[in-house]
Structure formats: structure tokens, C-alpha cells
Amino acid sequence: TTAAPRPAARNFTLNFTLTNLRYTADLSDPRSRRFISTVKVINHYIDLLFQRSSIGSVYTGCKLMRFRAGRARDNTGIDTICSYQTNGSLAKFNREKLYHELSSMTEGVTKLGHYSLDKDSLYVDG
């Protein structure tokens, strides 16, 4: 007998800006308490979104790559790499569909949990 092929892992990027998280130097240090605690909270909110999305059954997680200073003083940009497993039930990754789902689930790209989002900052690329 031949083993069934394992689904392949695929990555996509997710970027957005929080307008009520002030960027400070400790957010650039992966060893800082603020970095670690903020990553946990952001990952929790991202996981909740994707679990309710069309890729929820194949979503395997996101890794927060970095925090970056936003254009405004109180803004912090978030850059993540997210993954999903390809399988027969997900014909093709549709970044536009996923973008619209995320936009809807974040109230028009305005809320992520207790964070406020820059409505023009959501970016999904697969």
C-alpha cells in the first residue's frame, strides 16, 4: 500500500496597523516582556479570525515577524507570515475572498479585539 500524500504547507503574509498601540523600542526586542505579551495577544486575535474564515479548517497558524513604527505616533504596524495546509477542499487560496472576510470580521477593518485598526492598512498576499 502507498501512503496518501501529505498536504503541502503554504504561506501568505498578513499586515495591518494598530492605531492604539504606541510603538516603543521594546516592541523591537523579541526578549522584552512587552514584545512577548503583545505577541500573545495579537496571535490570539488573529487565530480567532482565521478559525472563523473560509480557510479555518486548513489554517495552521501565524508567526508575528515584527512590529514596526507606524506613520502616526500611536500606530504600530504588524507583519506576519501565516500558513495553511493545501488539500482537496481548498481549491485555491483566494486572497481577495480572505481579505473581504477579514474586513467584515474586523468591522470594516476598524477593530481587532480591543485594538483599533487603521482602515487602510489591511494587506493579505498569498
Q: CA-CA distances (angstroms) from residue 54 to 43, 90, 99, 117?
A: 18, 9, 11, 22
The string of pLDDT tens digits covering residues 104-114 is 999 999 999 99
Structural domains for the chain? 8-125 (3.30.70.960)
Q: At residue 2, what is the residue type?
A: T
Q: Is 83 left (phi over 0), alpha (psi -120 to 50) or beta?
A: beta
Task: Note the pTM of the prediction, 2 decimals.
Answer: 0.88
The string of pLDDT tens digits covering residues 89-99 is 555 778 999 99
